[in-house]
């Protein structure tokens, strides 16, 4: 086993423990991967992401081969070593001798896990021999979705749709690029919309032609809320909760005069960098939107509210395992305050588009229904299929509602919700 392989697996083990034991987000847990070589960093992230994507299956598999899961206070990272090793064997198709030997070395290197080295070795050898048949008999969609999400989705969408969502979450999300203009250099890929290209699997974004100024990365679903504002060329538009900036870039590229409001300076800095790279301009305001009072109300306001992000699990497979229903309620309560503040800076006759990358009713339609009940000066302005390139399946009772299984034959898309509201006075 090469030292490079061990370094990648050690990093993956550390990240998994951080996520599963401390509930740290995936992006935070793997932040130190940049210290690894490009090859090792990529391998480590693949191990972590696929282990989380198949977490329910892998956990059930281990319990089928173990009488008891080793207690963490005695075994240290033994559980993560077993999970990652099983993932390598069954889902990453790593040679059994390489995966098992690496797991043994990781166990030996830890003062607590080394006492379970013989167990780890025996279990992984059994999994290498018999694990595939166990996996084949599993209900993967159900196992890989924790109860708190499964029951919500079945209740909201029905079991068939819940299974389709879970099935979509089992696949790696593709990379979509939004093309800045007609003269842009466009990497090879599939054209999804007039200005959205899905690039080839395995593409390294910074190395694609046109990286400096011709396009930016944004899932096709995330591009739709801006389209609901219509023609914004020459108009003043306020983009609330704007970072990392995809919607600001869209608005600026469409000729709008954009004011982007974001409360976190670190996130605003990322937006600023994206604007520089794309050679676009916007007025940036680092402030909590609830304390933001523009000189005059705007005819166009876009609020992409912070949310549970359950529509983006394909990209963030840690979410089901580090969040809970409590987070949904917390996000819904915060969104209620944010949309109330957004309404105050929307001019009479103006449009307010509310959007979230969530599948949860409390953050989506229920949020808007409650808002409209409290604010009779706003009315829902239904979305028509022709505004969404004829995709009537992306519309639910007049609102935008994309699901991860939409466009499944082309790689899927994020789950997104948006409502368009017109202020009458």
Say how many C-beta atoms besides its own lie within 10 A of residue 350's C-beta. Answer: 20
Q: How would you class 387 by CB atoms within 10 Å of its CB: exposed for 0-12, middle for 13-18, buried for 19 or more?
A: middle
Point out the residues that are catalytic.
Answer: 357
Measured CA to CA, the distance from residue 386 to residue 317 in angstroms comes to 33
Q: How would you class 145 by CB atoms within 10 Å of its CB: exposed for 0-12, middle for 13-18, buried for 19 or more?
A: buried
Burial 57-94 (b: 16+ CB within 10 A, else e): bbbbbbeebeeeebeeeebbbbbbbbbbbbbbbbbeeb
* CB-based contact 107:114 (threshold 8 Å): yes
Measured CA to CA, the distance from residue 34 to residue 306 in angstroms comes to 27
Measured CA to CA, the distance from residue 87 to residue 157 in angstroms comes to 30
String of DSSP letters for 84-152: HHHHHHHTS---HHHHHHHHHHHHHHSTTGGGGHHHHHHHHHHHHHHHHHHHHTS-HHHHTS-HHHHHH
Q: How many CA atoms lie within 13 A of 276 on its CB side?
A: 6
Strand partners, 278: none
Sole residue written with tokens 């970072």? 243
Measured CA to CA, the distance from residue 153 to residue 134 in angstroms comes to 26
Q: At what angle do helices 78-90 and 55-65 cross, to 10 degrees?
A: 110
**Strand 378-380, strand 416-423: pairing:** antiparallel
């Amino acid at each position: 086993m090469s030292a490079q392989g061990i370094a990648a697996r050690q990093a993956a083990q550390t990240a998994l423990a951080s996520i599963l034991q401390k509930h740290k987000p995936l992006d935070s847990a793997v932040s130190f991967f940049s210290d690894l070589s490009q090859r090792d960093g990529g391998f480590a992230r693949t191990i972590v992401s696929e282990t989380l994507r198949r977490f329910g299956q892998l956990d059930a598999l281990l319990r089928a081969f173990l009488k008891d899961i080793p207690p963490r206070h005695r075994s240290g990272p033994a559980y993560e070593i077993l999970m990652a090793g099983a993932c390598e064997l069954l889902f990453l198709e790593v040679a059994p001798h390489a995966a098992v030997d690496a797991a043994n070395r990781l166990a030996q290197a830890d003062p607590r896990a080394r006492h379970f080295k013989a167990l780890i070795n025996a279990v992984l050898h059994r999994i290498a021999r018999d694990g595939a048949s166990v996996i084949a008999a599993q209900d993967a969609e159900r196992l890989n979705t924790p109860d708190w999400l499964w029951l919500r989705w079945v209740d909201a969408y029905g079991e068939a749709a819940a299974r389709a969502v879970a099935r979509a979450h089992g696949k790696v999300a593709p990379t979509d690029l939004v093309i800045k203009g007609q003269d842009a250099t466009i990497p090879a890929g599939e054209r999804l919309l007039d200005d959205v290209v899905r690039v080839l699997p395995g593409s390294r974004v910074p190395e694609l032609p046109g990286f400096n100024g011709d396009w930016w990365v944004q899932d096709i679903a995330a591009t739709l809320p801006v389209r609901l504002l219509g023609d914004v060329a020459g108009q003043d538009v306020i983009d609330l909760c704007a970072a990392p900036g995809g919607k600001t870039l869209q608005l600026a590229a469409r000729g709008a005069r954009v004011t982007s409001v974001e409360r976190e300076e670190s996130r605003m800095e990322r937006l600023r960098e994206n604007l520089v790279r794309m050679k676009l301009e916007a007025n940036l305001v680092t402030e909590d939107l609830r304390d933001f009072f523009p000189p005059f109300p705007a005819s166009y306001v876009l609020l992409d509210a912070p949310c549970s992000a359950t529509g983006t699990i394909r990209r963030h497979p840690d979410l089901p395992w580090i969040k809970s229903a409590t987070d949904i309620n917390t996000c819904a309560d915060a969104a209620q305050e944010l949309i109330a503040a957004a309404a105050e800076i929307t001019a009479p006759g103006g449009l307010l588009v509310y959007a979230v990358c969530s599948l949860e009713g409390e953050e989506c339609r229920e949020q808007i229904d409650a808002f409209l009940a409290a604010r009779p000066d706003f009315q829902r302005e239904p979305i028509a299929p022709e505004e969404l390139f004829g995709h009537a399946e992306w519309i639910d009772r007049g609102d935008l509602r994309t699901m991860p299984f939409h466009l499944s034959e082309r790689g899927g898309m994020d789950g997104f919700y948006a409502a368009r509201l017109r202020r009458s006075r």
